[in-house]
A and B are shown apart, each in its own frame.
Chain A
Amino acid sequence: MAELNFKFAYIWPETIFFLLIIYLFILTCVSRKNPALAAGGALVVVPAGGILAILCAFNSFYLEADMFFGSYRIDGLSQFFKILICLGFVVAALNSFRQPTLSVEKRVEYFLFLTLSAWGLVILSSGAELVTIYLALELSSYSLYVLIPVRAKSKAAAEAGLKYILFGAAATAMALYGLSWIIASQETTYIAKLAGADWSLAGNPLAVMGLTLFLGGLFFKLALFPFHFWCPDVYQGASNETAAFVATLPKLGAIIVLIRLATFLKPDLEITGILALLAAVSVTYGNFCALAQKDLKRMLGFSSVAHAGYILCGLVAGTAEGLAAAAFYAMAYLLMNLLCFWVISRISQDGRNLTYDDLNGLSRRSPILAMCLAAGAFSLVSLPPTVGFIGKLWLITSLWGHGYDWLVIVVCVNSAIAIFYYLSLVRHAYTEDPIGPPVPEGSPEGTLTGPIALTDASAYSHAGALFLGILVVLLGVIPGPVYNVALNAARALLP
């Protein structure tokens, strides 16, 4: 339908985010005198708005519309990802409330940009046309560029921010160049129309190369090899809470675009072959580098490179089950990583970067945080009964038998290799002795000293960890309903 077709009732999540942004913007202007009060106001409004957006997205689940001349599409897939993005936003925002490295004056602006970035990702979920996608991608990226350096007195953060900007600029320039070739060769940017075009190298080399370059920009967001080099440095340099957001939500945005584009990636095309190759190298490289890391966020950065590869496996197969598996694994990835970052943020009470040794003694300091961290680690390794296991299982089964069996073997071998560094988290939390001076005589049983003793073991931190931990296990035991939703959405794209 090439008409304006603007239905206000269908875009409540976007509207709520927009209203949040307006509110936060006004708050930044009027809050010079009393930043603490303004921060308190944001503390209530932001998660409330996020939850409201989730509810609106739930309500609009079975709607379908093409708005704005076919460039903005509301369907099952977009609403599924909107729910995920809103959920990730709420958790990341709640995580960011107690940020030791963020001064009070900057809090409201911090949330303003966080919301802007999430808003950009929400719009990205519905983008059905390459320029819209590009603009939404840029909106979310720019908002994040501002947030990375916000870490009190940290030169590393400034350096990370700069790397992110420059790397991102190079990647998006490449993407724009590729977009220009696509427009030149296919004469349209609407994904629906592009789906029917010829994408073989022999038939349309300009379009294929253009698409590959455009995908490069997306791979930058996804942190796929070889566009991943920014990833570990930026995670390490940014504050723990910002890294939680950066590590999870932008990837969801990239994944949904790739899922939409995957409608025209048949398994025998060269593009699909490139995707498979990049996925394999990404998985292997990410895993091997993560083995050598001591800093937790760097390790998680390399692991996210590997996970980007896993998700791409679902897209390579070219079936609706593969797309559904990729969407499901995106959700699983979101939950697992948010959980690990939540625990890391709670342990690091002065906002510094943590190493494996900083986890020693966590099981004594806070058994609940240790247990939830273990659940997240098991899920990242893909051990049953967690959601990571089921997600990876579906990815592998959807990929087997479509000519990419070698990729399945690579994925399985690397999952085994990854056990070492993920379970090191659990090993350090449960079996190692805490680092710190010896406990003085006469202290009560179970007293800890050293950095681990400062861990935030309040009800707030436990509640968040338990919520995510329970979701990780619950969705691993009863994944059916969510997977069926993703499958229906994928079948609508790829019958």
Chain B
Amino acid sequence: MVTSNFFHPSIGFLMMAVVLPFLPGNRRWKWLLLIPPLAAIYAAFTNQPGDYLTMTWLGQTLKFGHVDALSSIFAQVFAIMSLAGILYALHVDDKGQHVAALLYVTGGFGCVFAGDYLTLFAFWELMSVGSTFLVMLNRTRESVLASFRYFIYHTVGGLFLLGGVLLRHKATGSFDFGPILAASAQPYDFLILAGFCVNAAVVPLHAWLPDAYPRGTVTGSVFMCAFTTKTAVYVLARAFPGWEILAIAGTVMAIFGVLYASMENNARRILSYHIVSQVGYMVAGIGVGTAITLNGASAHAYAHILYKGLLFMGAGAVLYSAGTQKLDELGGLAARLPWVMVFYMVAALSISGMPIFNGFVSKTMTIYGAAADHRTFVALGLELAAVGTFVSVGLKLPYFAFWGGKPTDWKRELKPIPFNMYLGMGLLAFMCVLQGVCPEILYRYLPYPEAVGEFQPWTAWNVLQASTLLGFAGLAFYLTRKVITPHKALNLDFDWFYRLIGRALYWLISRPAAFIDNIWTNVWNVVGLRGLMGSARSSVFFDKKIIDGVVDGSASGVKGIGVIGALLQNGKLQYYLGLMVVLALGLFAFFWYGVL
């Protein structure tokens, strides 16, 4: 199949995932893991817009390579993140985790480039499976149970999507993946929206995120934080721009996330609630739907992947080294894990929107866009969430993890952190600073270039406003630092409802089913079994004596004929030549004269 210059980044990851289990055991295969992300980076920066890799299969047109400005920017950041994630995970010897991560990334790229709903659904489910294993392979009871809940929940989300897609096809006759207008929305569009919102962790469908992400492997959660939710943001941006309900939902998510993050004790759960909050920014931007907020949502997604990945890497490094991620058990680690602290703070300041880091150039664009569209409550809500972000992720988490008001803890045993983890963190930190200082390298790739000029991040007022806001938020933290101290607790979230529904369904199905099954078993034992055994005996007789007799007999007969036929091949050349001539001329003659 000769295609024009389009290399689908998924191919590298998929091939690597297929080949990896067969590679021999010594550690040299780890170097090969770097090839797919590097190829993906190359592809993401050189792919030209267009429709590639269309294939007809069973009567449907599948488009695997829909490249435009929106998918290009997401592909770029996915590629960079995949490189950082794999660098971070190089020390892992468990091939299963690598295969799961590779399949997961394959799904992510596949979704970004999908041009029709069928392709999207296939890669959506692949992502779901890959990420389930990233949680399960942590191999603790907690993680395995969490992975099951995650998988069930995402399967339900996928079914919403599938239902919507199929109904849509029945109504419109096409699987094409493009913008849907809010004014003409049908029930099936809402189903598709629900499916997307599950992966985007829209409140109230979000509770899987803080349930599963803290329980994944140290390296697996780094991958997960980037791909599932941002793929959902991408598909929402493509299909549902300008839907009012998303603007409201996004603002609710932003505030909800920071509220819970301020309460939590588990470091990675704080970050997970944060993902809900930050994705809220993006969803709100998509909901407002102007060119500048869509740019803002894309820019924010790009920056978010980078700094959220770095945050998870930092928290993961602490978990790896100290053995725990609970903030009330940590503290006094700044002097012992100084570089982890530095990299973490780079990400923390990025996520808060401090000037010099990339959050400043992306987050403010969304808020500015919302304000420019006269959406006061959205803009204020997002600013509120910005304050909360800084307080919980930017200050609370690092303060209690690295300082906590305690002196440096020299007695605690810390596992040395492998160099590749620092490399991964360094790569992302570098990108965060680079984008913050030169926003043009991010703005260049935004999907709506005409709106880029409206917003300049590096004005005196913007810098001052951001610094002031963050500074006084810091003061708020300082004043309430005794109140915000984390304690061990589980905070009820919407998963209480999910478990309730799950248990109710289980009870509903199993009680009547068990009752009927009981009756049926009795009937079967008395009546059915005897009848079955009797008919089985007569079938055996029929089969053995009659059928086998015929079949085996005819088979040996055929073989016998074969043996006789093979006797013609007696090895003597003169017989061969003679037979050839006689048979050939005989057959020809039969035909020429017999038929005529």
Contacts and interface: CB of A to CB of B under 8 A. Distances in A.
A and B touch in the complex (CB under 8 A): yes
Interface stretch (A1-9, A179-187, A240-248, A272-280): A272-280
B479 interface: no
18 contacts: A163-B576, A166-B577, A167-B576, A170-B580, A171-B580, A202-B596, A225-B583, A229-B568, A229-B569, A229-B575, A229-B579, A229-B580, A273-B595, A274-B591, A277-B587, A277-B591, A289-B562, A292-B566
B561 interface: yes
Given A162-B573, A288-B558, A292-B563, A227 B584 contact: yes
B555 A420 contact: yes
Contact of B566 (A162, A167, A212, A289): A289
A271 to B, nearest CB: 9
A167 B574 CA distance: 9
A59 to B, nearest CB: 9
Contacts of A289: 562, 565-566, 568-569
Interface string B547-584: 00000000100110111011011010101110111011
B1 interface: yes
B277 to A, nearest CB: 45
A384 to B, nearest CB: 15
A270 B591 contact: yes
A135 interface: no
A68 interface: no
A293 B569 CA distance: 11
Interface in A220-247: 225-227, 229-230, 232-233
B587 A292 contact: no
A460 B155 CA distance: 41
B25 to A, nearest CB: 14
Interface of A: 58, 162-163, 166-167, 170-171, 201-202, 208-209, 212, 216, 225-227, 229-230, 232-233, 270, 273-274, 277-278, 281, 285, 287-293, 302, 417, 420, 478, 480-481
A287 to B, nearest CB: 8
B565 A288 contact: yes
A302 B562 CA distance: 11
Contacts of A232: 569
Given A270-B591, A273-B591, A201 B576 contact: no
Contacts of A202: 596
B297 to A, nearest CB: 38
A171 B573 CA distance: 13
Contacts of B596: 201-202, 270
A216 B562 contact: no
A120 B561 CA distance: 39
B508 interface: no
Given A230-B576, A277-B591, 4 more contacts: A162-B573, A229-B576, A288-B558, A292-B563
B587 A274 contact: yes
A305 to B, nearest CB: 10
A293 B567 CA distance: 11
B532 interface: no
B571 A233 contact: yes
B520 interface: no
Contact of B592 (A170, A233, A270): A270
Contacts of A420: 555, 559
Contacts of B590: 277
A285 B587 contact: no
Contact of B579 (A226, A277, A290): A226
B562 A290 contact: yes
B377 interface: no
B588 interface: yes
Q: Which of B558, B581, B584, B587 has the most CB of A within 10 A?
A: B584
Contacts of A170: 577, 580-581
B32 interface: no
A292 B565 contact: yes
Contact of B561 (A273, A288, A293): A288
Contacts of A225: 583
B526 interface: no
A164 B321 CA distance: 73
A227 B580 CA distance: 6
A166 B573 CA distance: 8
B509 interface: no
Contacts of A274: 587-588, 591
Nearest to A170: B577
Contacts of B565: 285, 288-289, 292
Contact of B2 (A58, A233, A273, A288): A58
Contacts of A302: 566
Contacts of B562: 287-292
Nearest to B56: A480
A276 to B, nearest CB: 10
Given A278-B587, A288-B562, A290-B562, A270 B580 contact: no
A172 to B, nearest CB: 13
Given A226-B584, A232-B569, A292-B563, A201 B592 contact: yes
A298 to B, nearest CB: 8
Nearest to B583: A226
A302 B565 CA distance: 11
Contacts of A291: 558-559, 562-563
Contacts of A209: 588, 592
A97 to B, nearest CB: 22
Nearest to B561: A288
A167 B573 CA distance: 8
B16 to A, nearest CB: 16
3 smallest A-B Cβ distances: which pairs?
A291-B562, A226-B583, A229-B576
Contact of A163 (B568, B573, B592, B595): B573
B550 to A, nearest CB: 15
A167 B57 CA distance: 48
Contacts of A166: 573, 577
Interface in B1-55: 1-2
Contacts of A285: 565
A274 B583 CA distance: 12
Interface string B127-161: 00000000000000000000000000000000000
Contacts of B561: 288
A144 B552 CA distance: 42
A278 B565 CA distance: 16
A291 B564 CA distance: 11
Contacts of A281: 587
A270 B569 contact: no
A290 B584 CA distance: 21
A480 B2 CA distance: 14
Given A226-B580, A277-B587, A292 B559 contact: yes
Contacts of A270: 591-592, 595-596
Query: Which residue, of A163, A170, A290, A291, has the highest number of chain B Cβ atoms within 10 A?
Result: A291
Nearest to A169: B577
Contacts of A290: 562
Nearest to A165: B573
Contacts of A273: 591, 595
A232 B577 CA distance: 15
B577 A167 contact: yes
A273 B590 CA distance: 11
Nearest to A61: B2
A318 B588 CA distance: 20
Contacts of B566: 288-289, 292-293, 302
Contacts of A278: 587
A207 to B, nearest CB: 13
A202 B562 CA distance: 38
A230 B573 CA distance: 8
A278 B56 CA distance: 39
B576 A212 contact: no
Given A226-B583, A229-B579, A292-B559, A212 B573 contact: no
A287 B555 CA distance: 13
A163 B580 CA distance: 13
A80 B93 CA distance: 46
A163 B584 CA distance: 19
Interface string B45-79: 00000000000110000000000000000000000
